Structures are given as C-alpha cells and as structure tokens.
A and B are shown apart, each in its own frame.
Chain A
Amino acid sequence: MSTTVIRVEHLCKSFNGSRAVDDLSFEVPAGVVFGFLGPNGAGKTTTIRMMLGLLEPTAGGVSVLGFDARTQAERVRERVGVLLENDGLYDRLTAYDNLDYYGEIYRLSLVERRTRIQGLLEHLELWQHRKEKARVFSKGMRQKLALARALLHRPPLLILDEPTTGLDALSAVSLREDLLNLARSEGVTVFLTTHNLAEAGKVCDRAAVIRRGRLLAEGSPGDISAMASRPRVEIEGRGFNDGIVLSAIRGNPLVESATLDGERLAIDLKGGGSIAPIVALLVGRGAEIEQVRKHGADLEEAFVSLLKEGDR
C-alpha cells in the first residue's frame, strides 16, 4: 500500500454556481490521525462525500488508499470505515443487530461477526447493552456504537465527521480515548473533521485548515500554530520604562509590537524572530533582566488567526 492514504488534488465542487470546495489539495500519510479543521460550512462534509464517491467533483480528483474515488468508489467504500455527521444507527434494532447488519454487509462470517462485535462492544463498555435498542442509548453511547460499527470490518482508514459534536465533556474525552486506543491498536489511519480545536490539538498528528472550501494551512498542529501566529516573548526585569529603551525595542525590525505592563515587557516578534538580539539590545541599554519566556500560540489561536487572514 502507498504511504499516502488520501491524496486530494485541485479538488473543486460547485452547487448551483457556488463553490463549496475550491482548488483543495492535500495529502494524508498512512498511520496518522489527520485533523480536517474548519468552521461550519467550510466544505469539510462535501470533501468527505467526494472521498467516498457519494458526490462527484466538479474538477480535480481524490484518491483514497490508491483508488480513484470517482471511478473506483466501491473499492474505496469497501476499505473505509465511516462515522458521518449523523450516527446512522437503526433505532428499531438492538445494538448487536446494528453491528451484525454492517458485519454482513462487509461479508464477515458468522463467527467473525460474533467475535468482533463482542470484542469491540466490550472494549467500549457496551457489551451489557447489546440487547437494547439503539433508540434508548445516550448520545455518547450512540457515538461509541457507531465507532464500533465503523471499525467492525477492520478498515485501514477511518473517516470521522465531527465525532464528538453534541457530546458532553466527559463523553467527548471518553470517545476520544477509545478512538485513539482503537486506532493505535488496529493500526488505522484516521481522517477526522472537527471544529473543536482543543480536541484536534490533542489527538491529531497532522492537520489541514480550510475556509470556504480553500486550504489555509497544512502541517502538524505545532507547524500550523507557528505558521499562523507570531511568537510572543515576555521579559521580566527592570529598566524598561525608559522611553528610549521602549522606542528602541519598538523600532527593531524583528519586533511587531511591544507593550509594557509594570516590570513586564511583552513583545510580539515577527515570524521566525529570535529573542537573543532583543535581549542583547535591552542589556546594552542598561535594563536588568530576570526572566525571559517565549510562547507560541496554541492551535485555537492559530485557527482564529488563519480564518481572519483568510477573510482579508
């Protein structure tokens, strides 16, 4: 199998003349948890539908696990596990029957189905609820059951569309842990859409940010944070309130902005700015430095910053 699990190339999709996905290109390597981030209406679900061959692209293409999603959609769907925006569970059927149906769809033998369903339900602590109809399940239990269904046929790729939306904090953490444990133990590549940036920062190895169907950034969460934000330096000490020192700092080409709050000087550096020349400048002007801290923005700040830049 190729080391690239999903390859999206210049993908476009228009509905009645309006572009939902606009020249989107990115790749998902094997074995990672890939976050596909964007606000509501960014084109995440449309992209997933094109990956699964449920919608035809207007232009460009997607290949999933080496298969063209347009011309070999059945082969793609055979090898992918999905948990879409709606959990897709049959309320009138029991938890066991819901999984059994999908096991039959994926042609697992009776023995395989029994073993696999028991294993997954036990792992997700749902085995004791296997005879209950899905309609009595809480939202968290439903999402877990749908996750079990997605993993049932041991797909090498799992596509999850907003899996923790609507869950309370505890259920979301529990589902996230189950997802990561199962993905790791089964060696699955996970493609995950979310607008929960804290979640993406915790679980994703790589991520892409889209807005209005266009790619704004791609890389590791750390790369995206660095790409989208200016590092901030906080320097504590004395001798900063001299107007000349502050003017010199603000006039430095590495500095975007500087503010003084008592004995703490906060400096926003321009992209890739280094601290050492700033510290040298301060010391040279007679300031006494006690502590220097450099911060990067977290993924959430980076996301907001990217979206604002995208709007400009």
Chain B
Amino acid sequence: MRDTLVVAKKELKEFVAFAESKRGLTVQILIFVGWLGIFMPLQEPDFAKTPWLTVFLPLMVTGGVVADSFAGERERKTLETLLATRLPDRSIYAGKVLAAVVYAWLMTTLVSTISIIVVNLGGKPYVPSFAGIISRLVAAALVSALVALIGVNISLRAKSVREAQQTLSLLFVLAPLSLTFLLPAAIRHMPAGLRSSMSRGLESANPLAVGGALMAILAALDAALLAGGIRGFRRSRLIP
C-alpha cells in the first residue's frame, strides 16, 4: 500500500505542477465550480439533489489525469526508469489509478458541496440525510474508480497522450449519450409486461436498497477491472 501511495502522490504532484504553470488546474476548478456548483443549482435547485454530479463529473475531470498516466510517461521517456525500480507491478498500476480517483473524487465532492450550499443560500432549504451524504461520497468514489480504471487501461495501451485522450474523449462522450438516449429507447422497446413489472418493482423498492444494489454492482465492476488490470500489467510489454 505504501508503494501505491508513493506513486499516487507523485502523479498528483506532477499533475498539479504542470497545471500550475498554465493556471490550468485553477481554471478547471473555477469552470466546474462556477458552472456545476453555482450556475446550474441557481437555475434549477433540484440539480443539487440529483445524482447527476456524482455520475458525470468524474467522467469529465478524470480524463486529463488518466490519459497521461502511462502514455505520458512513455512519451516523456520516464517509464523505463520507473520500471527499473523496486516498485512491484501492482503498486505502479494501482498508484496511477488511485491518483485519478483521488482527484476526481475531491473535485466531485467539492462541486457537490458547493452546489448544496448555493441551493440553500438561494432560499430553497435542502439538507441531505446522513445516509444520502455517505452514499453520494461512496458513489462518487466508485464512479471515479470505474472511470480511472478504464482510463488507465487505455493509457497503458496508447502510443501517445493524444491517442489516449482521443480514445477517452470518444468513450466519455458515448457513455453519457448512451445513457441519455439508448437506455430510454431500450426501455421503450421492452415488452409491455416486462416494462410494467420493472416499473412496479422500482416504485415499490426501497430507494436505499436500489442505490445499494447499484453501488454493489459498481464495486464489483471496479474490483474486477482492478484485478484484471493488475494481472495484465507486465513490465516486458511496456518496454519499447
């Protein structure tokens, strides 16, 4: 675990150091806080109550960190020296994933918190329950991990940062689009009986139980991707 933290710390430090010179990190934070944390909740107070931020913000902010994780090291010719150290394969891989998760989770938590404050300041009192806060935090971490794992695996195989960014952008545009259009279309084309029984089931189900089940599925998916990623990580495949 200590090795994983060492790699993650350096990843974040390098990301911040790079962004600092271009004011990139500050600009990114200001955009997300201004748009999703202030503007949207003022326009639509219910925005802060929906899981929209928890699901989509990690998609938007993780790309920059994960695209660079392996492809950037390969491009800047630092990867082989890193691979020649004592670090175990799993720590290098997990450290890169952890850095992206931490960044996406912090950003999601920051923007969500600000959006709730803004809604309350706007005269629409909204205090999420303790269970609601915890489930948001956990869900943000699980979605961030899913995005980070997919992104790191893409970066691992990409020849350059640009190639990794392009693949990730395509994926991160397609994922919300499919959720927005394909899911409703799929539901519309379901047999009427199945659709109504699903609808009845969801209406009668405990929202916490549904949320818990979704998070369990996400957690299982994350664990499977992490295990697969670590198993498939081979130093010899990364040597040019």
Contact = CB atoms under 8 A, between A and B. Distances in A.
Given A88-B77, A97-B13, A52 B3 contact: no
Interface in B58-95: 76-78, 80-88
A92 B14 contact: yes
A78 B83 contact: no
A52 B82 CA distance: 12
A309 to B, nearest CB: 32
List 4 tightest A-B contacts by C-beta distance, closest first.
A88-B81, A86-B77, A78-B86, A104-B6
Interface residues of B, number: 25
A105 B6 contact: yes
A90 interface: yes
B43 to A, nearest CB: 38
Interface residues of A, number: 29
Nearest to B17: A92
A263 interface: no
Interface in A259-281: none
Contacts of B86: 74, 77-78, 105-106
B239 interface: yes
A93 B9 CA distance: 12
Given A90-B14, A97-B13, A54 B84 contact: yes
Nearest to A83: B81
B236 interface: yes
Interface of A: 49, 52-56, 74, 77-78, 80, 82, 84, 86-93, 97, 101-102, 104-107, 133, 146
Interface of B: 2-3, 6, 9-10, 13-14, 17-18, 21, 76-78, 80-88, 235-236, 239
If over half of A's interface residues share one DSSP class (helix, strand or loop), that class is named, otherwise mixed; here it is: loop
A92 to B, nearest CB: 5
Contact of A93 (B6, B14, B85): B14
B78 A105 contact: no
Contact of B3 (A55, A88, A105): A105
Given A55-B236, A74-B86, A82-B81, 14 more contacts: A54-B236, A77-B85, A84-B84, A86-B80, A88-B81, A90-B76, A92-B17, A97-B17, A102-B85, A105-B6, A105-B87, A106-B85, A106-B86, A133-B17
10 contacts: A54-B83, A54-B236, A54-B239, A55-B239, A84-B81, A92-B18, A93-B17, A101-B6, A101-B10, A105-B87
